[in-house]
Structure 1
């Protein structure tokens, strides 16, 4: 993982681009002040996600587009950003950068945000660091820049390397990640202020509810006595229920008997009505038969009387009677035939009456039986109803407690018990919330193991190589994110040594992280690490025990031999031996229009035509 810076390019319409190419291991750009060295550091910071705007000066007038190329494994990335600011555009060559000459290998846009991309390429993706003791977050590009790019003011500052105020906790966390490879995923967070305020609000609500519940329970009432009282009420309610069930069973049986007797009575009444109706019809029929017999008897008597009369002429006309009647009716046998027919009809009716009598007797017997049944069932039903009335009246007399009062007592005691239980729960909740509103502050000690000693050993060897041969002990104070040299804190030294010691620690941290496979950006950019040590007039530089020339020569010599791991870019004012400069392939700014490279930006006397537009990324191939 990690990245390797390839080149920095600044362009503008009609202007010759300003370009600084970087070696894969070490690059030295040196020259006098005001030639653009610190501006190069600013541009790298800006293009690696730094905020703010770049300072403008006469040499940069007309330049508007910044470009930073860097490598990661077998892929090349290009970051484009306006000098005025705004979002960065990130491009990548998807194919391997080492392709046959002339083969197409276009640049494509990267959808990922620049800071997230750098975190991914540095191997820190998914790592968690403490932003504060109450908040975790992902590592950011700002953390990578802080421990990789050292400005001149930052090197000699007496401020802690982790910074101060907002963000210092995050700096310590990211430093520990680079140092040990372990993030803060397992660190227990402090409770945030908002969380505590929420807990206080919940605590106030719980205390208010507790006071309300305690007010519902009479003074001196305990849960045990309330449970006992509720048990007694339950017992009486059970007895009442048992009595009611027994009474209900008796009433149920009585009402079943009443229903049965009522049904039987209705059936008996139906039978009585039916028999009575039939008997009445039979009586009516018998009366009809008697009427018919009387009518037939009268008719027979009339015929007999007619037979006894003598024949006489008509008193009106004096004619014989046969002139007025059917002669056959005057024959002696005719009345007899009428009387015989009447006698036969009468006998038939009497026979019908004789046959009707058993049916009448049967229906009268049914009437008698049904009447007896109705009387018996009526009496039985009345007795059952009286018994039901007695049972209902007796039930009211047997219950020695008012069911309503028992129900109200049961409800009251149950609510008290619920209140007692809720009070117990609220007391536990209040105790928990009281703990949440306060938390014991503990010192966070990260277990970096031997990593601090290893970085210290790399830094000590580096400082010995830089000429500080008297240094015997160097180790890392992980809490301060800084070195302790021969028992002294780095910040206790003068400005010159502070800058060099911080440079040594930053480089050592990068080398150790890359060697161990820990996350790191993979590049260190140092702005004027030697300048402060060379300033003799500085009042903050009184402990310069090694000659400046020795330190400068040793530093540049060490840099010329540096082969990684990682990449070092040094921007420096101090002169370098020509042989060492050649070994370093150093970029020299002369601040002279007559020879060499004047500075980072070309002279405005040279004007180039505007570049032709291109969209496939091949316009950047000249800088590979």
Structure 2
């Protein structure tokens, strides 16, 4: 009782232990340490669960005190106007509601995503605003010698008009140059064709000249053969030069045709044929020479035309070059103006971003944690109403738990609006209803409740008065003890300053605190 760590002894102890504890547990809950809170939560199977502690969705580990607050109720809390699941400290309201929600639906808040606190958000927002202001200042300094945005836009409009005129002038010159270049290309192709044909003619003339020389050589040879035949008598009638027969004895067909005296006729025929071929070849050579001369004349004309076209191209290029220089200057000016307008647009975007950051800083909130659904609230309210009905409390069927107020509403009024006696009875019903709901729905719960003075402050109605919620029937106490012994599935400890009206059943313990050392039990803690 004077503080320090707890000693954990296995088994039952009927007297103060003399041996050291098998295990020591710290008195304060902390993560990653061996302490009493975590030990008890381990027994409940809920160690490591997390509860939401603020609107920024920050969470912390569940402590056994979060559960005990809903299970162990002292006299002050029993009669307090503060809602049953709350301690009355505004800073703890969120975590206390989360603890009740965890017991009712079995879902903790470990899945919540935290957001920076208001202070952190303000610091982050201020840092962002400083950066944005620095960027805006840099851009404004860059535009210090530039007119305002409207003046830049007007200047850009005039420049675009000048550019359109310049584009048009250059386009006309470019079209002319393109047409001249096309003609120049066509003449170039014609000149190439002409040169190719001239080369072909030159080759043909060379070859045909050689052939003509061959024909003239053949004619000279035939003339020599004819002269030799005359000298040798090959072409006159008489004794056969081949076989020696007299003319009278010579018969047609004795010799092959080439061996006959018709050899002269053959030579003559061959000569005529060769002369004919040579004549045709001379004509061909004359035609080729004529064509070559024509091609040479055409080539001169084409070269003159090409020279004229090249001159026109150079003149057009000379006309386009200054226009293009002017166009480049205008384009550079437009690019510069576009850059100024881009800077103005960036300033506007940064100012909008700054407003957005400031607005987010004022409005940003964590996504709301899921609250208890109405089905769970209704079932929980029924568990509370069943307790009150069993105790014969008036209007018990109209009692419900309000998830917005986190309090009971009875007789169309919040629990806090009733007197101490009714507040105590309603708190007892809340605590027992929560425990029984957890037992029946397999939800985490310590398995016991402790109620300090739930009945001592109520008073029954005076004789002749009608029953109402503020003046409970004298039988409420008897039905209260009967109900908790018969219909409560866990362990319950009730501390009261008055005996149960009808006593307790044999399986229930009735312990009187005598405050006497010599008789009975002195108090909750031994002397």
Pairwise TM-score range, normalised by the shorter structure = 0.5 to 0.7
SS in 2 for 1:580: coil
C-alpha distance in structure 1 between counterparts of 2:116 and 2:317, whole Å? 67
**Counterparts of 1:85-484 in structure 2 under 5 Å?**
113-115=45-47, 131-135=53-57, 145-150=67-72, 152=74, 155=77, 161-162=86-87, 164=89, 167-172=92-97, 192-193=117-118, 194-217=120-143, 218-222=146-150, 224-225=153-154, 228-229=157-158, 231-232=160-161, 235-236=164-165, 238-239=167-168, 242-243=171-172, 246-247=175-176, 249-278=178-207, 280-282=209-211, 284-285=213-214, 352=274, 355-398=277-320, 400-402=323-325, 403-439=327-363
Give yes or no for contact 1:178–1:509 (8 Å, CA) kept in 2: no
Give yes or no for contact 1:510–1:524 (8 Å, CA) kept in 2: no
Deviation at 1:529, TM superposition (A): 1.5
- Give the one of 562, 565, 568 matched to 2:483: 562
Deviation at 1:363, TM superposition (A): 1.0
C-alpha distance in structure 1 between counterparts of 2:317 and 2:336, whole Å? 26
Q: Which residue of 2 aligns with 1:604?
A: none
Q: In terms of mean alpha carbon deviation, does 586-595 or 140-149 score higher?
A: 586-595
Give yes or no for contact 2:415–2:423 (8 Å, CA) kept in 1: no
Give yes or no for contact 1:206–1:426 (8 Å, CA) kept in 2: yes
Unaligned runs of 5+ in 1: 1-9, 19-34, 36-56, 67-81, 92-111, 120-127, 305-340, 535-543, 602-624
Residue deviations 1:330-389 (CA, integer Å, cap 9, x gap): xxxxxxxxxxx99x9899779745642431232122122122123213422431342143
Give yes or no for contact 1:230–1:410 (8 Å, CA) kept in 2: yes
C-alpha distance in structure 1 between counterparts of 2:19 and 2:521, whole Å? 18
Q: Which residue of 1 aligns with 2:16?
A: 58
Deviation at 1:433, TM superposition (A): 1.0
C-alpha distance in structure 1 between counterparts of 2:406 and 2:312, whole Å? 99
SS in 2 for 1:394: helix
More RCO (CA 8 Å, sep 6+): 1
Query: Which protein has the bigger strand share?
Result: 1
Deviation at 1:560, TM superposition (A): 1.0
Deviation at 1:248, TM superposition (A): 5.7
C-alpha distance in structure 2 between counterparts of 1:248 and 1:565, whole Å? 106
Aligned length: 433
Summarize the Cα distance change of 1:386–1:135 in structure 2 as closer, same or farther, 3 Å threshold: same
Deviation at 1:448, TM superposition (A): 12
Q: In terms of mean alpha carbon deviation, does 503-512 or 273-282 score higher?
A: 503-512
Residue deviations 1:91-137 (CA, integer Å, cap 9, x gap): 9xxxxxxxxxxxxxxxxxxxx95258xx9xxxxxxxx9853122276
Deviation at 1:174, TM superposition (A): 5.2
Q: Which residue of 1 aligns with 2:249?
A: none
TM-score between both structures, scaled by the size of structure 1: 0.49
Give yes or no for contact 2:81–2:423 (8 Å, CA) kept in 1: no
C-alpha distance in structure 2 between counterparts of 1:572 and 1:401, whole Å? 104
Deviation at 1:422, TM superposition (A): 3.5
Summarize the Cα distance change of 1:263–1:153 in structure 2 as closer, same or farther, 3 Å threshold: farther
C-alpha distance in structure 2 between counterparts of 1:180 and 1:352, whole Å? 126
TM-score between both structures, scaled by the size of structure 2: 0.56
SS in 2 for 1:400: helix
Deviation at 1:257, TM superposition (A): 0.9
C-alpha distance in structure 2 between counterparts of 1:477 and 1:489, whole Å? 11
Q: Which residue of 2 aligns with 1:585?
A: 508
Give yes or no for contact 2:51–2:61 (8 Å, CA) kept in 1: yes
Residue deviations 1:466-501 (CA, integer Å, cap 9, x gap): 9xx9xxxx999988867999999979x9xxx79x95
SS in 1 for 2:296: helix
Residue deviations 1:9-40 (CA, integer Å, cap 9, x gap): x9956x5x36xxxxxxxxxxxxxxxx9xxxxx
C-alpha distance in structure 2 between counterparts of 1:586 and 1:219, whole Å? 94
Residue deviations 1:396-452 (CA, integer Å, cap 9, x gap): 3156342433443343344344444433333322211111122499xx9x999999x
C-alpha distance in structure 2 between counterparts of 1:518 and 1:196, whole Å? 44
Summarize the Cα distance change of 1:241–1:418 in structure 2 as closer, same or farther, 3 Å threshold: farther
C-alpha distance in structure 1 between counterparts of 2:329 and 2:357, whole Å? 41
Give yes or no for contact 2:513–2:524 (8 Å, CA) kept in 1: no
C-alpha distance in structure 2 between counterparts of 1:286 and 1:489, whole Å? 142
SS in 2 for 1:570: strand
